[in-house]
Amino acid sequence: MSQPIYDVCIIGSGAAGGMAAKQLCEAGAKVILLEAGRKITSADLLSHKWPYELPYRGLHGEKQAPFTTPGFSRDIRYEQCDPVGIDRVRVLGGRTMHWNAVVLRYAPGDFRQRSTYGVEEDWPVSYEELAPYYDRVEQLIGVCGQDDHLDIVPAGKHYLPPLRPRCSEEILRRTCRPMGIPVIPVRKAVLTRPYDGRPPCHYCGHCMDGCDVGAIFSTPASFLPKAAATGNLTLRTNAVAREILVDREGRARAVSVIDRITKREEEIRARLFVLGCATVETARLLLNSRSPQHPNGLGNGNDVIGRYLNGHLTGNVHIYLDELEGRPPVNQDGATDHVYVVRHRTDSVTGTFGFQVNFDGYMFPHQAFNLRGYGTKYKAEVRRLQGASLLLGGYGKIFARPGNRVTVDARQTDEFGIPLPVVHFRYGSEDLEVYAAIQETAYAITGAMKGQVFPAFGKLPWAFASHDVGTVRMGNDPRTSALNGWGQMREAGNVFVVDGSAFPTSSEKNPTLTIMALTMRACEHIVQQRRRGELA
């Protein structure tokens, strides 16, 4: 029997691939969605397990084990690297299965770094062009929050009721107000009332361990059922894409795919390919797709693919607030963070940072790490501080530089013989200025409160907090970008890249809302091009 030729083959089922599947299936395309990981159910999640029920008390990523496949986290190398770690997953739904769902729009200036600050590049897309897609994505996924009338965090029109601040967050707001630092209700893709057939949050505080009811947005809870309902979706899990194969003209014709369980390899053919494997894995797939037409990797004639790895650097501080110490324990788990500290230094690019608050949850007593001692006295002290914790997690911009990159190494392969990704990354002086500004602000805020402060600022920051972007960048200049402003590959016009690797630069905002808005926009372009016969 001859192999079918699909209209579209999407690789990766996370925020980007899931959105593409929904949009393109709804537009009538016959879509095959390939996902390297397996499908999991709420029975697989460890979210509601107490630390004492787990061998490492929930440390070493124990609760995140369902989101990956055995050995996968070791299948990466870091060479000539400052402290960074890239969180890749292999599961249906990608990282939407264990994200924290803070969804912030990029502001107009975030798309125009060169015009605004004279650094990096302007995007080939403006805020004004993306705003209608932000509106539609927010309405689709369900976002709680409100319009705070702050230019640096532009707001939408469709918000579910905001999360209410807890005691420590009220104290934070009260402290920051006279300092001119806005603290707003967080905008999260978490349901605060029933929405789109999904139940509301029950405030267990385990968003990043997986939500058993689908109150936080994930593609398996939202986009994938919508795509399947069209009858146009073929879903293949445990399907690892090895390389994209091209025709004589250098356009993509098929993808070589290995079944993770049977190890059988086959070619899947399609007219169009949409890549959503995320920053490291999309670059890896393209760099591994070498052919006489693309000897340096698919679409990599200008040696851009893999370069400009950027995203977020981080540094945290914990304070235990005097006025909340020793209170009787109450359930304050909530939906991880409830408020957000907005970027307040908008006049300089090194002021590109904000703070997420209390995202570490309360089930595990984090103060146990900070306190010294042992025995009964120590335990009593841990209990006394349990309700007093306030965590400020700084998220700052990393600048996009060509030398920070992902390469592949043919001498080192995974269990399927696929060359591993190698990350090369060094912080630059501007990154370290952002880091210094984060620390200065964190100390100014905590210094204005009464309590014990435990900073966790290393000499260098930590990156990328799962907000990695930039290795297959879009752009106006074909010399420094691989994709045009629609995410379409310049050297192979039937390949689109829709995950965060397409970002030319980053801001202090988390990337996923922008990933989804760009994907929706790219899909509309694909549908129009298909109608005009330009992609056939």
Ligand X SMILES: Cc1cc2nc3c(=O)[nH]c(=O)nc-3n(C[C@H](O)[C@H](O)[C@H](O)COP(=O)(O)OP(=O)(O)OC[C@H]3O[C@@H](n4cnc5c(N)ncnc54)[C@H](O)[C@@H]3O)c2cc1C
Asked if 141 is part of the footprint of ligand SF4 (rule: CB under 6 A), the reply reads: no
In the block, which residue shows the tokens 């009260």? 174
- List residues binding ligand X (CB under 6 A): 11-17, 34-37, 87, 89-91, 94-96, 98-103, 208, 239-241, 276-278, 281, 285, 466-467, 499-500, 510-512, 515
Q: Cβ neighbours of residue 244 under 8 Å, at least 6 residues apart?
A: 252, 254, 255, 256, 273, 285, 286, 289, 298, 495
Which of residues 32, 171, 176, 201 is near ligand SF4 by CB under 6 A? 201
Nearer to ligand SF4, 204 or 385 (CB): 204
Please tell me whether the peptide bond between 464 and the residue prior to it is cis, using omega within 30 degrees of 0: yes
217, interface contact from ligand SF4, ligand X, none, CB < 5-8 Å by kind? none
Nearer to ligand X, 101 or 463 (CB): 101
Q: Tokens standing for 262? A: 């049977």
Nearer to ligand X, 320 or 508 (CB): 508
Asked if 204 is part of the footprint of ligand SF4 (rule: CB under 6 A), the reply reads: yes
Nearer to ligand SF4, 275 or 513 (CB): 513
CB-based contact 282:501 (threshold 8 Å)? yes
15, interface contact from ligand X, ligand SF4, none, CB < 5-8 Å by kind? ligand X
**Residue 507, class by beta-carbon neighbours within 10 Å (0-12 exposed, 13-18 middle, 19+ buried)?**
buried
233, interface contact from ligand X, ligand SF4, none, CB < 5-8 Å by kind? none
Asked if 186 is part of the footprint of ligand SF4 (rule: CB under 6 A), the reply reads: no
CB-based contact 514:292 (threshold 8 Å)? no
- Binders of ligand SF4 among residues 331 to 370 (CB under 6 A) are 335
Q: Nearest approach, Cβ of 339 to ligand SF4 (angstroms)?
A: 15
Nearer to ligand X, 41 or 376 (CB): 41
Q: What is the DSSP string of 413-478?
A: E-TTSPEEEEEEE---HHHHHHHHHHHHHHHHHHHTS-EEEEEE--SS-EEEEEEEE-TT-B-S-T
Asked if 215 is part of the footprint of ligand SF4 (rule: CB under 6 A), the reply reads: yes
Nearer to ligand SF4, 103 or 204 (CB): 204
Q: Tokens standing for 322? A: 């005097």
Asked if 203 is part of the footprint of ligand SF4 (rule: CB under 6 A), the reply reads: yes
Which of residues 17, 66, 185, 205 is near ligand SF4 by CB under 6 A? 205
Which of residues 164, 174, 202, 531 is near ligand SF4 by CB under 6 A? 202
Cα–Cα distance between 443 and 449 in angstroms, integer? 10
In the block, which residue shows the tokens 């970008």? 481
Q: Nearest approach, Cβ of 451 to ligand X (angstroms)?
A: 26
Q: Nearest approach, Cβ of 478 to ligand SF4 (angstroms)?
A: 43
Q: Nearest approach, Cβ of 217 to ligand X (angstroms)?
A: 10
Cα–Cα distance between 257 and 241 in angstroms, integer? 4
Angle of helix 15-26 relative to helix 512-531, nearest 10 degrees, comes to 30
Nearer to ligand SF4, 125 or 160 (CB): 160
Q: Nearest approach, Cβ of 92 to ligand SF4 (angstroms)?
A: 18
Asked if 40 is part of the footprint of ligand SF4 (rule: CB under 6 A), the reply reads: no
511, interface contact from ligand SF4, ligand X, none, CB < 5-8 Å by kind? ligand X
Cα–Cα distance between 529 and 534 in angstroms, integer? 5
Nearer to ligand SF4, 204 or 227 (CB): 204
CB-based contact 222:236 (threshold 8 Å)? no
98, interface contact from ligand SF4, ligand X, none, CB < 5-8 Å by kind? ligand X
> Any alpha helices (H) in 216-353, and if so which ranges?
223-229, 279-287
Q: How many residues belong to the site for ligand SF4 (CB under 6 A)? A: 13
CB-based contact 457:449 (threshold 8 Å)? no
3-state SS class at 87: coil
**Category of 130 on φ-ψ map: left (φ > 0), alpha (ψ -120 to 50) or beta:** alpha
Q: Provide the binding-site residues for ligand SF4, judged by CB under 6 A.
A: 190, 201-207, 211, 213, 215-216, 335
